[in-house]
Amino acid sequence: MGDNESFWESLIYAHPTCVAWKQEAEGSVYHLASILFVVGFMGGSGFFGLMYVFSLLGLGFLCSSVWAWLDVCAADIFSWNFVLFVICFIQFIYVTYQVRSVSFEKEFQELYSSLFQPLGISLTVFRKIVLCCDAEVVTLEKEHCYAMQGKTPIDKLSMLVSGRIRVTVDGEFLHYIFPFQFLDSPEWDSLRPTEEGIFQVTLTAETDCRYVAWRRKKLYLLFAKHRFISRLFSILIGNDIADKLYALNDRVHVGKGLRYDIRLPNFYQVAVPGTPKVQPAEQLVSNSRQKFTNFGNCDSSKK
């Protein structure tokens, strides 16, 4: 214990205390370095935040090196500040190279700026999502089908980048799919990872379309490695399904005949003669819930 006390006492009291403080202030280069340090530590996160921090800190250490060389004339202070300047410069070059290496095609740039960037998704995370689809954008010509009712298997998840898709069931129009919306979010959400299924609707291109497609197995492997991406897609898919339901609900209110379809496989409802052409949304929701209840009772009785 005594040895520790003597060590700290020698560390604190071994050096002479300052008796007379300097009256004149340090040069402008020293104060400029201090200002650069203060502003530099206010940087944010991400690639551009790191570039901001390392650039200002590097300039601050450079100014400190100049101050130590010209005013203080201390080789050790100059050496340390210059070494820190070199480290910041190397880090700035490295981060800049990473930003330049994370580049995408025009469609992916628009997809990132329109959908992922507003959610605060970094370019590194978006790059993993793009690599999962092999950075490929698929073209679908006008009047060609992306999926056919009762025939096309559900083996991928796709998002429309440009164009417009028409969704029909038994030849009856349901709704449109616009850019930056999923083509098959209800089908994806209705199946478990180990289940297989087929489309219960037909998706036809009304114009020349471009879309991005992720294969189910590769996307589930990505979800297993990165839980954040899994939660992100869960939110995006849920929001997309809600938009489709609202589009269908709007058609119920403005259309001539009743069409209430929640885009889940094996479940859609068509108006029959004798029913009102327009029903309140609350009644439609209650009917759908009742049908789900009956469906669950039938399954339990079979078991």
Q: Does the pLDDT at position 258 exceed 50?
A: no
pLDDT reported for residue 163: 94
Amino acid letter for position 285: V
Q: Which of 230-234, 241-245, 255-259, 283-287 has the highest mean pLDDT?
A: 230-234
3 state DSSP class of 23: coil
How would DSSP label each residue in 132-187? HTTT-EEEE-TT-EEE-TTTSB--EEEEEEES-EEEEETTEEEEEE-TTSBSSHHH
In tens, the pLDDT along 112-163 reads 989 998 888 888 888 889 989 888 899 999 999 999 999 999 999 999 999 9
CA 6 to chain centre: 57
187 CB-contact burial (10 Å; exposed 0-12 / middle 13-18 / buried 19+): buried
From residue 278, how far is each of 155, 252, 256, 257, 261 by CA, in Å? 36, 6, 7, 7, 14
pTM of the predicted structure, to 2 decimals: 0.57
3 state DSSP class of 203: strand
Q: Does the pLDDT at position 71 exceed 60?
A: yes
Cβ–Cβ < 8 Å for 247, 239: no
